Amino acid sequence: MGNAIAFYVISALILGFAMLVVTTKNTVHAVLFLVLNFLAVAALYVLLTAQFLAAIQVLVYAGGIVVLYLFVVMLVNLKRPPEDHSAPQRRPWLGFALAGVVLAQLGAILVWGGAGDPVDPHTMQNSDLALNNVERIGMLLYTDYFIPFEVASMLLLVAMVGAIILAKREL
Amino acid sequence: MIDTYFIPLVKILFVLNATLIAVTYMVLLERKVIAWVQVRLGPMRVGPYGILQPIADAVKLILKEDITPARADKWVFTAAPILVMVPALITFAVIPFGPSVHLFGRDIPLYITDVNVGLLYIVSVASIGVYGIILGGWASNSKFPLLASLRASAQLISYEVAVTMTLVSLIMTAGSLSMVKIVESQFNAGLWFIFVQPVAFVLFFIGGLAETNRAPFDMAEAEQELTGGFHTEYSGMRFALFFLAEYANMIVVSAVATTLFLGGWLAPFPNVAWLNVLELIPSWMWFLMKTFAFLYVFLWVRATLPRYRYDQLMRLGWKVLIPIAIANVVVTGIVKVLF
Amino acid sequence: MATEARQMFDTEELVINMGPQHPSTHGVLRVVLRLDGEKVVSSDVIIGYLHRGIEKLSENRNWTQIILLTDRMDYVAAATNNVGYCQTVEKLMQIEVPRRARYVRTALCELQRIASHCLWLGTHAMDIGAMTVFLYAFRERELILDLFEEYCGARLTYNSMRIGGLPLDIPVGWDKKVLEFCSIMAEKVDEYEELLTHNRIWLERTKGIGVITAEQAIAIGLSGPPLRGSGVTKDARKDEPYAAYDEMKFDVPIGTAGDTYDRYLVRLEEFRQSIRIIRQAIEGLPEGPIVGKVPRLIKPPAGETYHAIESPKGEIGYFIVSDGKSTNPYRFRVRPPSFCNLQALPQLIKGHMLADVVALIGSLDVVLGEVDR
């Protein structure tokens, strides 16, 4: 019962903040709402007894990536002139159509994706998985999902090198 | 009912109050310690030997006029000091002050809670603390505080990487992320981890100095530079909150270092039977003594060393500390596998 | 490719104003800096905030009254100012100063050098972040100020010389106190060295910062420790000995690299040499009169002369023109060392970071009272 209430409240927060991110006029406010969004997602993870993931969500997303977003937003003065909003190449209907397609795909995954029956959070609480979060994730990452792990790290390395080349004064 | 709600509530109130009082008196402690190093006496007038000085400071700051700059972003301006203070305070939820004690017919553990990813919780909460600094500088709507705040936060993020890498090798040694289990593994090993991982201790100390913006890494707040840094436009209690948050962060770093490296609540040589006489001093007393020893070293370093220039500071973090931390992880892994 | 990418970013130079009220400009100095990021692109040094018209005022004062005014130029090292001025007038009037007076003058000058360097060390270290050295150095400066107070009654603006000698003989027991002070000071200099000289952070903040080559130093007209730090052997105490320096045995420290670290080492060694000179001066203090044969009314013959001495900041020179008829000088001109050393500042800080600017101002050791007069 308590879990259900918590879930609905947190989901409302997540959706609310996400709406605010795209509708606020002030860019810095939008980034801050994004942070709150991520924190709410972390709360959701805790609800699902994925504490490790929650901590990583806060540490990496909210505490690392969005901070760098903030740097860029604060230092680079992005001011689009208002005429841009009604420029001819902007086609709102295309945006809505694509969003609808993505929504349909997500729905299809949910219904036919074979996610299985939802697990009762109470049994999850004291299960082996909850207590050995880190170990289990570590095992999975380095055995079953080894290749995606390595590919992801290569991607990050490429991004870092690219950023350094763009920003360095003399090579 | 009592166990799940009442006792944790009492513990939370106790720890919060104790922390806030400790933070306020850290101000006095710093002034006194640095004064004694510098052949002076420090505050002596308010109360006997200056004991009431922090109260006088607090009263003064509360009574000051609260100025918000004209075009500053009001919400963010108000939120920034809060965002610096809150992460420091909520870290205390997972710090173990001692093992279970038997009180009022129950076994009450001397920590608010034991999350199974305790150490990671501390690191992630600390990374939220960066927001207060960035937003403090930006919300002031003024060139110099913004630049200073961005410099300070860049410093914080860089050293976060170094500190986290250091903690990885420690987690490998202890075998768990939970703070209580780390202390227990030090008990099982019979040794404080400072002897097992001396390099990690040194790296953690240096990283801790940089994370809390303390000398020699306090270029962001040095008055000789661009005015007062990111808190130039703040006055009254908000300004005080920034400073108190810095001291709270220092206490957090000391408490974490005590738990990880100095055996938390354990007496020295906890496993040696004939030294059990040391157990006459209660466990939380040991914890406090070690934390204060660490804090004293923080203050001592501030009084003694000159200040690093900003680019030298960043170079130290990225080019020296991170490689050493990574090497430490590799060596720890090899040792763990071989032995 | 990197430079093209950079041009996509619209960057602008930041103009920052340092001073005249600033904790680290050591007085009312104003420096307008143009920064590109953190590096100084160009700078403008604006002085004159402490101009009191000392040279013009001197034209309306008689020769003895001007000694008071000279105190207020380099207020950190007033005794050397006094000595320089008195010797210039003595040179013009061809007055011989008795030996005892010359010895005491030497001791007072060297005590003054130590006091000035104490202040320099304290403020320089504090600017770079080592706050404690400031208090230690001032503790020693207080000892010197006590000695001066016992001698002439003042702690900062001494008025402690007269044309032809000294106003007072040294008090009883003063020489023993000076020797005691010398032993204390010798230990303390070792203490400062322990705290700073081999400290890694100090080295990183001062080595290679603000390099002046010997040719540049001579071209700009530097003097004192900035000149000697760049390797040029020039010290008025050795080249044109005055007071009792020709009878003293001492070395003049010379640097090699011309950076902030070498200037620091030069001044640190000057501490030790000054202690050596004071010991020789006090232990070998001859008996005799304290003032030479000076007419009641000081009226130098018509003519002009220039005389320079080595003050702690560098070479301080006095140029006086007397018309032989009035009791006031016709023209009184000072060549202050800080004024000439400060000219090096724009060239020094170019290309350095903002944090180095304060280190360099401290390294040149300027006193605005002297620069502006």
pLDDT digits (tens, 9 = 90+) for B24-34: 888 899 999 99
| pLDDT band, residue B203 (cuts 50/70/90) | very high
Q: Is the pLDDT of residue C107 over 50?
A: yes
State yes or no: pLDDT of C306 exceeds 70: yes
* CB within 8 Å: A165 and C2: yes
- Rounded mean pLDDT of B78-94? 88
CA C51 to chain B, closest CA, distance in angstroms equals 25
| CB-CB contact of B69 with B141 (8 Å) | yes
Task: Give chains near B: 3+ CB pairs under 8 A.
Answer: A, C
Predicted pLDDT at B5: 79
Q: CB contact, 8 Å: B40 with chain C?
A: yes
User: Distance between CA B88 and CA A96 in Å, rounded?
Assistant: 43
What HEC string does C278-344 produce?
HHHHHHCCCCCCCECCCCCCCCCCCEEEEEEEEECCEEEEEEEEECCCCCCCCEEEEECHHHHHHCC
Q: Chain C residue with minimal CA distance to A162? A: C2
- B69 by Cβ neighbours in 10 Å (0-12 / 13-18 / 19+) ranks as middle
Mean pLDDT score across all residues of chain C: 87
Cα–Cα distance measured from residue B311 to residue B317, given in angstroms and rounded to the nearest whole number: 10
Residues constituting chain B: 339
- Average pLDDT for residues C178-204, to the nearest whole number? 90
CB–CB contact C128 B307 (8 Å): yes
Distance CA C274, CA C112 (A): 9
- Residue A78 contacts C, CB cutoff 8 Å: no
Instruction: Select from B225, B226, B308 the Cβ nearest to the Cβ of C201.
Output: B308
> Which residues does chain B have within 8 Å of residue A71's beta carbon, measured at their own beta carbons?
134, 150, 153-154
* Cβ separation A134–B177 shorter than 8 A: yes
Q: Do C23 and B224 touch (CB under 8 A)?
A: yes
Q: Are C190 and C271 in contact (CB under 8 A)?
A: no
Interface of C with A in 1-20 (CB under 8 A): 1-3, 5-6
Q: A166, A168, A171: best mutation site toward chain C, by most C Cβ within 10 Å?
A: A166
Scanning every residue of chain A, which has its alpha carbon at the shortest distance from the alpha carbon of B150? A71
C-alpha B291/C-alpha B293 separation (Å) is 5
User: Which residues share a beta bridge with B292?
Assistant: none
Q: Stretch B246-260: mean pLDDT, rounded?
A: 91
By Cβ distance, the residue of A56, A62, A70 closest to B134 is: A70
Nearest CA in chain C to A77: C10
Rounded to the nearest angstrom, the minimum Cα separation between C223 and chain B is 27
- Residue B274 scores a pLDDT above 80: no
Residue B323 corresponds to which tokens in the numbers above? 């490689």
Q: How far is CA A85 from the centre of its chain?
A: 27
Of A42 and B176, the one with more pLDDT: A42
State the pLDDT confidence band at B243, using cuts at 50, 70 and 90: confident
3-state SS class at C272: helix
Q: A98: how many CB neighbours lie within 10 A of its CB?
A: 10
B279 within 8 A of B187, measured Cβ to Cβ? no
Q: Is B72 on the interface with A (CB under 8 A)?
A: no
Distance CA(A59)–CA(B128), nearest Å, equals 8
Q: Which two structure tokens, joined as six digits, stand for C167?
A: 């106003």
First to last CA, chain C: 53
Interface of B with C in 159-218 (CB under 8 A): 215-216, 218
Supply the range of the domain harboring residue B106.
Answer: 67-338
Q: Do the Cβ atoms of C16 and B226 come within 8 Å?
A: yes
| Euclidean distance between CA atoms A157 and C143, whole angstroms | 61
| pLDDT for residue A58 is more than 80 | yes
- β-partners of residue C71 are none
Q: What is the mean pLDDT of residues C88-95?
A: 89
Please judge whether B150 and A28 are an interchain contact, meaning their C-beta atoms are less than 8 angstroms apart: no
The whole-angstrom distance between A62's CA and the closest CA on chain C is 27
Dist CA A32 CA C138 (whole Å): 49
Query: What percent of the residues of chain A are helix, what percent strand, and what percent coil, each to the nearest 5?
Result: 80, 0, 20
Q: What pLDDT is stored for residue C5 in this prediction?
A: 47
The C-alpha atoms of residue A18 and residue B338 are separated, in whole angstroms, by: 49
Pairwise CA distance, residues B205 & B256, whole Å: 11
Return the closest-CA partner of residue C134 out of A159, B243, B224.
B224
The single residue listed with the structure tokens 């306020």 is B24
pLDDT on residue A39: 93
Residue partners of B144: CB distance under 8 A and separation at least 6 = B226, B227, B232
Residues of A in contact with C3 (CB under 8 A): 169
End-to-end CA gap in chain B = 46
Q: Does A138 touch chain B (CB under 8 A)?
A: no
DSSP three-state, residue B109: strand
Quick check: A165 and C1 CB within 8 A?
A: yes
**Tokens representing residue A170 in the block:** 């003399």
Residues A17-34: tens digit of each pLDDT: 999 998 988 888 889 999
What is the average per-residue pLDDT within C279-302?
87
Q: Give B152's pLDDT tier (boundaries 50, 70, 90).
A: confident
Mean pLDDT (whole number) for B287-297: 91
Q: CA–CA separation, C218 vs C344, rounded Å?
A: 11
- pLDDT-based confidence at A48, cuts 50/70/90? confident
CA distance A88 to chain C (A): 26
B232 secondary structure, DSSP code = T
Residue B73: band (very low, low, confident or very high) from pLDDT cuts 50, 70, 90: confident
Q: How far is CA C112 from CA A83, B54, C154, C217, C346, in A?
A: 72, 41, 13, 25, 29
Asked if the model's pLDDT at residue C9 lies above 60, the reply is no
Which of A28, A53, A61 should be substituted to probe chain B, the one whose Cβ sees the most B Cβ atoms within 10 Å?
Answer: A28
| Type of residue at C104 | V
In this complex, is the C-beta atom of A166 within 8 Å of any C-beta atom belonging to chain C? yes
C252 pLDDT above the threshold of 60: yes
Give the largest CA-CA distance in chain A. 61
Q: Any idea which of A113-122, B72-81, B115-124, B254-263 has the lowest mean pLDDT?
A: A113-122
Interface residue C140 vs chain B (CB under 8 A)? no
> Per-residue pLDDT for C34 more than 70?
yes
Nearest to B238 by CA among B35, B83, B17: B83
Number of domains in chain B: 1
Q: Which two tokens stand for residue C300?
A: 């130098």
Q: Where are the domains of chain C?
A: 13-372
| Tens-digit pLDDT profile for residues C187-197 | 999 988 888 88
More confident residue, B22 or A111: B22
Asked if B178 has any chain A CB less than 8 Å from its own CB, the reply is: no
Which residues numbered 97-156 in B keep a CB inside 8 Å of some CB on A? 115-117, 120-121, 123-128, 130-131, 134-135, 138, 146, 150, 153-154
Q: How far apart are the CA of A162 and the nearest CA of chain C, in angstroms?
A: 11
| Digit-coded pLDDT (tens) for A92-143 | 888 889 999 999 998 888 888 766 666 666 666 666 665 667 788 888 888 8
Q: What pLDDT is stored for residue C1 in this prediction?
A: 46
Give the chain B residue nearest C199 (alpha carbons): B305
Give per-residue pLDDT as tens, C313-348: 989 999 999 888 888 899 999 999 999 999 989 988
Pull the structure tokens for residue C165: 């000698």
- Cβ of C125 within 8 Å of Cβ of B38? The answer is no
CB C352 within 8 A of CB C209: yes
B177 lies within 8 A of chain A by CB? yes
d(C-alpha B98, C-alpha B289), whole Å: 13
Tell me the pTM: 0.85
CATH number attached to the domain at C13-372 = 1.10.645.10
Distance from CA of B130 to the nearest CA of C (A): 22
Q: A171 and chain C: CB distance < 8 Å anywhere?
A: yes
pLDDT category at B277 given cuts 50, 70, 90 is low
B49 occurs within a structural domain: no
Q: Is residue C27 within 8 Å of residue C339, measured between CB atoms?
A: no
For residue A169, list chain C residues with Cβ-Cβ distance below 8 A.
2-3, 6
Cα separation, B219 vs B305, in Å, equals 13
Chain B residues in contact with A26 by the CB 8 A cut-off are: 73
pLDDT grade for C2, boundaries at 50, 70 and 90: very low
Task: Tally the residues of chain A.
Answer: 171
User: Is residue A170 over pLDDT 80?
Assistant: no
Do the chains contact at A63 and B130, CB–CB below 8 Å?
Answer: yes
- In this prediction, residue A12 has a pLDDT band, given cuts at 50, 70 and 90, of very high
Greater confidence (A9 vs B217) lies with: A9
- Between positions 350 and 369 of C, the ones with CB within 8 A of B are 353-356, 358
Extract the tokens encoding B63: 């009574």
Q: Which of A26, A62, A71 faces B150 most closely, judged by CB atoms?
A: A71
3-state SS class at B174: helix
Q: How far apart are CA C116 and CA C110, in angstroms?
A: 10
Q: What is the pLDDT of residue B271?
A: 65
Chain B residue with minimum CA distance to C357: B225
CA pair distance C3, C44, nearest whole angstrom: 29
Is C6 within 8 Å of A169 when comparing Cβ atoms? Answer: yes
Residues of C in contact with A166 (CB under 8 A): 2, 5
B145 Cβ partners below 8 Å, 6+ apart? B136, B137, B227, B228, B229, B230, B231, B232, B233
CATH 1.20.120.1200 fits A1-77, yes or no: yes
Residue C310 β-bridge partners = C315
- Contacting chains of C (3 CB pairs or more, <8 Å) are A, B
- How many beta-carbon pairs under 8 angstroms link A with C? 13
Question: Measured between CA atoms, how close is B165 to chain C, in angstroms?
Answer: 24
C252 token code pair: 């003049």
Cβ-based contacts of A63 with chain B (< 8 Å): 124, 126-128, 130, 160
DSSP 3-state helix, strand, coil percentages of chain C (rounded to 5)? 50, 15, 40
Q: State the pLDDT at residue B312.
A: 87
Mean pLDDT of B137-153: 78
Average pLDDT value for residue range C98-112: 90
What confidence score (pLDDT) does residue B306 get? 86
Between C14 and C256, name the one with better pLDDT. Answer: C256
C349 shares contact with chain B (CB less than 8 Å): no
Contact at CB, B309 and C23, closer than 8 angstroms? no
